[in-house]
C-alpha cells in the first residue's frame, strides 16, 4: 500500500489591475511526510501574505466574496477588534480603501481577528494523498496576444503548453527540448546559432503575489518559443516502462476577457490541449477520476457567471434557463421580448445580488446549467526514461 504524503498547495489566484481573482484549482508546491510540518509551513506562508495583501481586493467587488458574514456583522466584528469600519456596506472597495489606510497601524492581534472573519480569502492549503514521483514533462509552449494588457503593443504572452513526453531524467528532458527546438527552427528555414540557444528549458511559473514583474524566460528572449519542461507529479500503479502511454491532467487556460473587473470573464485559449499540467497517471481511469474530483471542487465556487452565462455553456434553451434562475432571485432584465437573453454584465450583476440569498442547493442548481463547461482535460503522451 502506498504511503500518504501531505502536499502544500497554493490556491489558483491570478493578479489583475486592482487585486487578485481566484480560478478553480491549486498548484502543488512541496510534499511532506508529516502533516503537522506541512500545516505549519502553510500557516507561515499564509501569514506572510496576510501582512501585505489587502483581502478586500481579492475575489470580487462585494464582501460576500471575502466573508461569509453579512455587512452588519462584519461591521460589528471590526469594531470589536478595535478596527475602523466604513459601516454596514457591501461594497468591497470601501473596505479596501479603509484597510489600505489603517494597515500600517494594525497590530498582529487586530490583523488576525480581521482575517478570521474574512474566511473566503485563503491562499494555501494542505492536501492528503498517495505518494508520487517527481517526473519531467516536456511540452510545446503556447503564446498568444492579450490586447487587454497593452492594446498598442503586439506582444504574445504565455498561455500554457501542450504535453509532448513524460520523462524520468532531467537530462532526457533537456535533450528532447533541444531536439524539438532544432527541428522547428530547421522547418522554418532558420539557423540554430550559439546566440539563439536557450540557457535553460525549464518553465517556472511566477508567484501571483510577487510585487516584481515576472521574469522572462531566456528562450523567450532568444525568440525560441518551441519547447519547455517542468516537474509534474506522477502516480504509477506499477513500475513504468519506456514507450508506454501515460495520461497527463491539464488545467485549461483562461484569460481575462473584459477590462472592467466588475464584469470579468475568462475564456479558453485558442491552442488545443493547452494548459498547466497538474499530474500524470499510467491509466486513463485514474486520470479521469482525478479530473472528476477537480471538476466537482470547481463547482463549489460561488462564481459561475464569471465564466460566461449558462446560455453559452448549457444544453437547455434560454426560456427554461430563465425559468430556473428566476425561482432563485427575480430577473428584471430578460424576458420573452428579448428571447430571455442579456449581456454578461447583466447576469453577473444579477448573480452578485442573488448569491447573497441563494442557498447551497441554489448554487448547485446554477452550476448544473453549465453542462459543457470544463476546467480540466486529459492528454495522452509517451513515457521515456
What's residue 146's pLDDT? 61
What's residue 218's pLDDT? 41
Q: What is the mean pLDDT of the chain?
A: 88
**With bands split at pLDDT 50, 70 and 90, how would you rate the model's confidence at 258?**
low
What's residue 284's pLDDT? 97
Separation between Cα atoms, residue 178 and residue 22, nearest integer Å: 35
**With bands split at pLDDT 50, 70 and 90, how would you rate the model's confidence at 1?**
very low
Q: How many CB atoms lie within 10 A of CB 113?
A: 17
Separation between Cα atoms, residue 199 and residue 217, nearest integer Å: 9
**pLDDT one-digit tens code per residue, 105-160:** 999 999 999 999 999 999 999 999 998 999 999 999 988 876 555 555 566 778 89
Helix 108-117, helix 71-80: angle, nearest 10: 160
221: pLDDT strictly greater than 50: no
Residues contacting residue 123 through CB under 8 Å, at least 6 positions apart? 10, 11, 13, 45, 46, 49, 53, 209
Residue 369, classed as helix, strand or coil, is coil
Residues contacting residue 340 through CB under 8 Å, at least 6 positions apart? 318, 319, 321, 322, 334
Phi, psi (deg, nearest 5) at residue 31: -90, 150
In what side-by-side order are the strands of the sheet with 4-16? 19-32, 4-16, 124-130
**pLDDT one-digit tens code per residue, 174-210:** 999 989 988 888 787 776 665 566 778 999 888 888 8
pTM: 0.89
CB 72 within 8 A of CB 117: no
Q: Work out the average pLDDT over 301-326.
A: 90
Locate cell 461569509: which residue?
Answer: 68
Radius of gyration, alpha carbons of the chain: 23
What's residue 223's pLDDT? 43
End-to-end CA gap in the chain? 24
**pLDDT above 90 as % of the chain:** 62
Range of lowest pLDDT (10-24, 26-40, 215-229): 215-229
255: pLDDT strictly greater than 50: yes
What's residue 362's pLDDT? 93
Which helix (H) or strand (E) segment holds residue 143: the answer is: strand 133-145
Q: Which residue has the higher pLDDT, 41 or 14?
A: 41
Amino acid at each position: 500500500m502506498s504511503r500518504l504524503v501531505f502536499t502544500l498547495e497554493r490556491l489558483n489566484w491570478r493578479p489583475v489591475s486592482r487585486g487578485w481573482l481566484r480560478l478553480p484549482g491549486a498548484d502543488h508546491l512541496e510534499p511532506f511526510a508529516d502533516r503537522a510540518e506541512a500545516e505549519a509551513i502553510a500557516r507561515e506562508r499564509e501569514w506572510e501574505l496576510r501582512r501585505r495583501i489587502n483581502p478586500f481586493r481579492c475575489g470580487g467587488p462585494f464582501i460576500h466574496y471575502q466573508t461569509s458574514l453579512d455587512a452588519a456583522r462584519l461591521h460589528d466584528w471590526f469594531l470589536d477588534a478595535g478596527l475602523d469600519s466604513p459601516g454596514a456596506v457591501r461594497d468591497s472597495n470601501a473596505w479596501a480603501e479603509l484597510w489600505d489606510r489603517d494597515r500600517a497601524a494594525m497590530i498582529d492581534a487586530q490583523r488576525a481577528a480581521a482575517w478570521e472573519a474574512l474566511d473566503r480569502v485563503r491562499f494555501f492549503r494542505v492536501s492528503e494523498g498517495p505518494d508520487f514521483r517527481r517526473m519531467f514533462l516536456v511540452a510545446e509552449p503556447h503564446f498568444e496576444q492579450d490586447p487587454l494588457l497593452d492594446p498598442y503593443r503586439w506582444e504574445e504572452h504565455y498561455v500554457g503548453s501542450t504535453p509532448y513526453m513524460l520523462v524520468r531524467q532531467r537530462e532526457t528532458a533537456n535533450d528532447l527540448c533541444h531536439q524539438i527546438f532544432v527541428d522547428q527552427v530547421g522547418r522554418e528555414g532558420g539557423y540554430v546559432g550559439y546566440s539563439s540557444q536557450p540557457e535553460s528549458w525549464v518553465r517556472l511559473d511566477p508567484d501571483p503575489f510577487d510585487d516584481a514583474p515576472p521574469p522572462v524566460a531566456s528562450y523567450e528572449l532568444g525568440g525560441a518559443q518551441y519547447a519547455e519542461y517542468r516537474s509534474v507529479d506522477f502516480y504509477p500503479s506499477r513500475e513504468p516502462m519506456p514507450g508506454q502511454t501515460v495520461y497527463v491532467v491539464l488545467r485549461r487556460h483562461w484569460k481575462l476577457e473584459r477590462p472592467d473587473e466588475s464584469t470579468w470573464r475568462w475564456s479558453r485559449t485558442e491552442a488545443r490541449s493547452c494548459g498547466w499540467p497538474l499530474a500524470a497517471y499510467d491509466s486513463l481511469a485514474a486520470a479521469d477520476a482525478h479530473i472528476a474530483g477537480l471538476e466537482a471542487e470547481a463547482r463549489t465556487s460561488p462564481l459561475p457567471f464569471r465564466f460566461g452565462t449558462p446560455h453559452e455553456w448549457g444544453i437547455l434553451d434560454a426560456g427554461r434557463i430563465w425559468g430556473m434562475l428566476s425561482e432563485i432571485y427575480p430577473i428584471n432584465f430578460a424576458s420573452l421580448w428579448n428571447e430571455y437573453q442579456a449581456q454578461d454584465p447583466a447576469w453577473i450583476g444579477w448573480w452578485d445580488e442573488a448569491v447573497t440569498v441563494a442557498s447551497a442547493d441554489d448554487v448547485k442548481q446554477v452550476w448544473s446549467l453549465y453542462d459543457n463547461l470544463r476546467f480540466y482535460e486529459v492528454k495522452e503522451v509517451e513515457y521515456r526514461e
